[in-house]
Structure 1
Amino acid sequence: MLSFIDNLFVNLCVLISLIFIYMQVREKLEIEKKPSVLSTLIEGAAGGVLGILLMHFSIQVTADTIVDLRFVPVMLLVIFIGIPPAIISSLVVIAGRFLFGINISAVAAAVLMLALIAGFIVIHKSSKKSSAEVNSYKTGLLMIVYSNLVFSIIITYLITDFDTLKNLIPSYWLISLMGGLTAIFFVEYIRKTQFLLMKYESESTTDFLTGLNNVRQFDSVWNTLINNATEKDERLSLLMIDIDHFKKVNDTYGHPIGDKVLAELGKILTHASRSFDIVSRNGGEEFSVILPDCPQQQAVELAERIREKVEAHEFRISSTESIHITISVGVATYPETVPDTAEIFVSADDCLYKAKRTGRNRVCAC
């Protein structure tokens, strides 16, 4: 029995290692963001290949019969990804099993896998019906127990030696339960870790209120575009935008309404700008739009268009009430109005305050 457990434990270690590697590759390639058909094929093929690799580290019980944890990748796909890739994975595993020899054990393995994928689908759908949120551990445990029962029946048909069975079946139940639940824990852990990492990366560059670039990301993009403009001798324009009398909005209607106005303004700026312009919230009620390869005249026209859209927009503060706001905009362009890239930001900021000093709700260009 000890040798069975040792070999199954090796299979489990291989399984966990391969899951970890695939999860990292999956994240790097952003498979979830690919077209659904392509991602389904990739996920299914990957699960199938993982199952075949596990067979290479399987236990040779008899001359024709091997035992391993190839069902686990299929189970994980059903729980975490979806049924279509799991079906593809099971078919790949079946085909892969025949590479080890065409015999009664291979046929039995194919029957086993077909029975497992059918049972896994039923268990998964039943779990979704009973609860809005599927408990991966509970669902996985049911799948593992079902898999072990089907395995025990089929292996008893293939192996008639009682001494072999009394060692193999308990060992398999123990390792498959441990391996299956460990695999679920591992996938859950990696998914949560990747989610948190993506969240922190997003929050480090994105303004939480408007979804625009924050000042940190603005600085990073701005430095890159300045270098590009200098090296390629391209024009680079910058709009600095500030909401007129925004303090009055906060004092009159409260900060929640003020936040709502800021978020709505962020959408207007994004929609009014060109698709490749970079819109940021630089802090408080101050925003900016970086305009790559944009001449001064075009930048002023775009700034005026934004100002008009903001002035005409109704900012809803309740179901029955709306307000209007205005903005002041400063415009600077390299090299047309500012010969030194280091002075673009300062020049646009000076123009912004000139717009405010000369009556607000206007565009000033330097």
Structure 2
Amino acid sequence: MKASAFVYPWDVNGDPEAAARIASLGVEQVTLATAYHSTRALTPRHPLHRIVTAEYAAVLHPTDDRWEGRALRPYAAGDWAPGDAYGEAAAALADAGLEVHTWVVLAHNSRMGAEHPHTSVVNAYGDRYPWAPCIAQPATRAYLIDLAAEAAVRPGARGTELESLGWYGLQHLHAHDKTGGVPLGDAGMYLMALCFCPTCREGYGEQGLDADALAAAVRDALEPLWHGVPDDGGWAGVEKLLGSETAAATRAWRDETARTLQETAIRAVRAAAPDGFRILLHADPVTYHVGANAGVDPAHILSVADGVVVPCTGGPALLTPFAETRKDAVLAANLTVVSGMGGSPGTLTTDMARAQELGATEIRLYHAGLASDADLEAVRSALTRT
């Protein structure tokens, strides 16, 4: 199977050995960040630094004039990725014989939420999630669509992987995160992800729901969970807490909002891209799930995208709904190979084989820049044997 490693520009720029080292792993491709959220990252082999602090969500390339006069526009990166950091890294990686695809993070932007708080998801208690732009709002949707088209189609790129192209919720590793004290479960997380900004309130009304009554119902449904009563899990748990008709109406609004955004963004990327450009979405096959791997309907997303990247570090089961939907789609199994972040590079050979059995056509390795030397050696050994 074709293998690709995730990489940041700062892993490569300033390190003359980085591109060759990544190529020596046995990967044919790299998925190189071109728009990325705030992060603090190790660079354990870089000759000039060991820690990179990306202070806010930014594009890692120059932007064009499509953003002139717009309130919502991408932020240029600071000194962690100045100028055309993506382009510089892409050139070095291509010179090492690697095929370069872009990696674009979309609806995940804490700085935008801080500077434009009206753009954020608002939960049933009135709390804003500044890291989570509400994808129902027209101006936010326009921003995300244009960002996808610009950041995905960079010179020389052969394809793109779009992350966070859907709803975001409570799940987010915020600075010094302290949200794990009460186990809300799958159903509780869905209720905490429901947005009550003005646009979403109107959307619920279109589904026959009164937004104030719905917010009150959500708060009532969550109350037992705050006291430690476990939910029943899955969509059945949501229906039990909220009522099946009300739950279905909220999901209808959110599913349609996400689907139309995904369709429009992918269409915009295709319009900007050369022939043969591949578009993949980081995806979860359960539509009500939120986060970096957007919840999608497999049949729908594989009718508009060329394939999906699916989280498989905890096992490859999420591949099955996609594999059963469209046999010729790209189905990339995303495996964490950083042992300090819960990955298991020592079992990579077995993990790849299990993923292939369930339909994976390609492998994604997270993450070549973050992994230790021992982790990279395990990857190199596994890819050499396959």
TM-score (norm 2): 0.20
Higher helix share: 1
TM-score (norm 1): 0.21
Structure of greater relative contact order (alpha carbons < 8 Å, 6+ residues apart): 2
Q: Which has the larger radius of gyration?
A: 1
